[in-house]
Amino acid sequence: GQQLNQSPQSMFIQEGEDVSMNCTSSSIFNTWLWYKQEPGEGPVLLIALYKAGELTSNGRLTAQFGITRKDSFLNISASIPSDVGIYFCAGKNYGQNFVFGPGTRLSVLP
Amino acid sequence: TAGITQAPTSQILAAGRSMTLRCTQDMRHNAMYWYRQDLGLGLRLIHYSNTAGTTGKGEVPDGYSVSRANTDDFPLTLASAVPSQTSVYFCASSDTGGPVYNEQFFGPGTRLTVL
């Protein structure tokens, strides 16, 4: 079946630094979603992308739908301690269900 | 609004026993989903329902069954639990009829341990 890869698997950054992570697929998708999950809770939707090349922001978060339609990127600017969590990407093509990546675990050091 | 609620929050179950995980949403979403989350594997789809009265198999359906008698409820049943079903289970829903039709919203999860 389809698989998504997320990079990096985990990252430790200093508070105030910018963060970049990406998600790649072996298949073309028409929708990309980015979620954040905190310990003991369900994933919370951050950003949805529906068009190749699309760049969408949500506060300090910016995500892009790759032009090849096989990748997506999430950037977090000026990280703060509450950004800690696991970030998941999810991709979908027409008539199919979402496929989720394994996640990028973000730790923010004060 | 509550969004999506799941019950129980956690459960320890003896192997061979049956159990039903409950999921209720109050957003009138037509589609609902069950995922399991295991370390390093992300979220894997067990079963889904695009509308009340219909269900479909996801990536890992074996050992699980679902029903969708109405819009709001989507219970997941383990007929005879096995230790490999130890996981965190998430229910999700989405509105497949509007402009944000792809976006799935998740419940808080049920942590299940099968001994």
The contacts of residue B104 (CB under 8 Å, 6+ apart) are: A33, A45, A90, A98, B33, B92, B93, B94
The residue of chain B with its CA nearest to that of A45 is B105
- Three-state SS for A98? coil
Task: Report the alpha-carbon distance of residue B69 to residue B32 in Å, rounded.
Answer: 12
By CB neighbour count within 10 A (0-12 exposed, 13-18 middle, 19+ buried), where does A84 fall?
middle
What per-residue confidence (pLDDT) applies to A12? 96
In this prediction, residue A51 has a pLDDT band, given cuts at 50, 70 and 90, of very high
Task: Give residue A81's identity as a one-letter amino acid code.
Answer: P
Instruction: Give contacts of A 86-105 with B, CB under 8 A.
Output: 88, 90, 92, 97-98, 100-103
What residues contact residue B95 under an 8 Å CB cut-off, 6+ apart? B27, B28, B29, B30, B31, B101, B103
Count of residues making up chain B? 115
Closest CA to A30 of A88, A60, A69: A69
Question: Can you read off the two tokens belonging to residue A68?
Answer: 């090849």
B37 Cβ neighbours under 8 A, 6+ residues apart: B43, B44, B87, B88, B89, B90, B109
Which residues in chain B have their CB less than 8 angstroms from residue A103's CB?
Answer: 42
The share of chain B scoring above pLDDT 90, in percent, equals: 86
Q: What is the reported pLDDT for B100?
A: 53
Q: Over the stretch B88-115, which tens digit does the pLDDT of each residue have?
A: 999 999 987 554 557 889 999 999 999 9
Q: Residue B1's pLDDT band (boundaries 50, 70, 90)?
A: low
pLDDT in tens, B52-72: 999 999 999 999 999 999 999
